[in-house]
Amino acid sequence: MKIILQRVACFISATIITITTASAQENLTLVGMKKVQQASWLRVGEMPDNRLYIGVPALTGVSLGFANNRYSFADLFVGDGKTDSIRLTFDNILPKIKDKNLVALSASTQLLGLGFKAGENYFSFNVITKLDGALSYNKEFMVLLAKGNTALANNSKNLASMRLNASAYTEYALGMVHHGGDENNPWTIGGRFKVLSGIANIQTKEADISIQTDTATFATLAGIRLLVNGSSIDTGSGGRPKLFGGNNLGFGVDLGCSFQPNESWKFGVSVLDLGFISWKDNTVNYSSGKAASSINLGGWDVNKVFANNSNFNPYADSISTQLKNTMYPNKSSQPYTTALNSKVVLTADYQITGGFSANGLLMGKWLNNKCYPGFAVGVEKVLEKWLQVTANYNYMYNKGSMGLGMSWDLLPIQLYAACDNILYLNKLDYARTTNIHLGMNIIIRNKAE
């Protein structure tokens, strides 16, 4: 119990406090770079702009992203004005916290990639490792974390909206895009079938928690209904996470289509990551027992927990002991299933003239049973046959940003890079959201080019 409590607490703290020092992955700029093969990840129903594509192993696509819909890393730390030292403070972020808040982290590395055109069809195969995690929480949870239970004295608070789901897995995807034999046919359809191999996961299936703090003793009465599932996160369950193979098997599909009524306009719709992973390796499940509906927790000083060189073990030991003695948690090793974080993407492109085009995007992404909408509007310019530039304005997770992307065709080598928040690239500590995607491909263009 102590091990998983330590890991859950450390993951939540690290996600909230340090997520903005990493570099949620939406690729809102990359989707406008139609000459880059990786744009097809969000344009499932469009024919890629090449005859042959080979991904350079482990270099063809690397993406890092974060999202915090309320505050930035810079809001958490302030200087003393005299030296270079900084200190942790929650004073700047508490006014920004709302009833519903989200922090998310995503990363991916494309290990292998291959695509080729055959007649009216385009076939592709990709192997990608992915990390996708999100923590949803309400304001009371942050108040408890920032000021301890004394801040909630004589008040009854509900933390029921706290949800955590994070997965690491390897994806093996086989895709196909088809355009009808008639050149005048405006429709193109596509899809990808994906086999998923789970590496590790942590999930709060249920997290209905209410707390009330006594004004005299600052002891906390907590009513808990909790179910936490994990795979390869509790060392006591034995074994290590497996990057390849293993018994954490899942399946997924991406589906899409595009419609081009004339030479100027093209519209597309894609539904991504419809699927699941069944977790069986090194699983652990903790649930609140029926013997007790509430527990008593003594007060603790949050400042000591986050102090320099602090050791979380005493706090984990104390809380773990009280949980065992009063909540009677049930521990098991049962398999469980998690769903992928699905997305719906709508695209529109307008070819203006002379290699100059405009594009727009609407997106909805589901995280912890809630849909987060976003959009992007931008332009793409082919400056030379070997250079394409894309710029856009994008909005997601309650934050607007300027995106920039470039691709260099040094045939047969293609280099590309895209960032959803280019204005904060050199000051990520002030950014609330961003995504960076870069890579190198080997491509052979269509004969017409």
H or E segment and range at residue 213:
strand 187-213
pLDDT score of 83: 64
Tell me, what amino acid is at 173? A
CA–CA gap between residue 361 and residue 348 (Å, rounded): 7
pLDDT score of 93: 79
pLDDT score of 14: 41
pLDDT score of 20: 35
pLDDT score of 178: 95
Report H helices in 189-312. 302-305
Q: Which residues of the chain have pLDDT under 70?
A: 1-25, 79-85, 144-161, 181-183, 208-224, 234-245, 289-329, 447-449
Q: Which residues contact 164 (CB under 8 A, 6 or more apart)?
A: 8, 11, 12, 133, 134, 135, 136, 202, 203, 204, 207, 368
H or E segment and range at residue 137:
strand 121-137
**pTM score of the predicted model:** 0.81
CA distances from 65 to 62, 175, 264, 417, 421 (A): 10, 25, 33, 14, 10
Tell me, what amino acid is at 116? F
Class of domain 2-444: mainly beta
HSE on the CB side for 64, CA within 13 Å?
7
pLDDT score of 16: 41
Is the separation of the CB atoms in 284 and 296 below 8 Å? no
Q: SS3 for 125?
A: strand
* pLDDT tens, position by position, 107-149: 999 999 999 999 999 999 999 999 998 888 887 777 766 666 5
H or E segment and range at residue 176:
strand 163-179
**DSSP per residue over 92-124, as a string?**
TTGGG--SSEEEEEEEEEEEEEEEEEETTEEEE
pLDDT score of 253: 98
User: What crossing angle do the helices spanning 139-147 and 2-18 adopt, rounded to 10°?
Assistant: 100
H or E segment and range at residue 6:
helix 2-18
Tell me the β-bridge partners of 356.
353, 381
Is the separation of the CB atoms in 169 and 248 below 8 Å? yes
Query: In angstroms, what is the C-alpha Rg of the chain?
Result: 24
Q: Maximum Cα–Cα distance for the chain, whole Å? A: 80
Report H helices in 131-214. 139-147
pLDDT score of 137: 81
Q: SS3 for 262?
A: coil
**417 φ, ψ (degrees, to nearest 5):** -155, 140
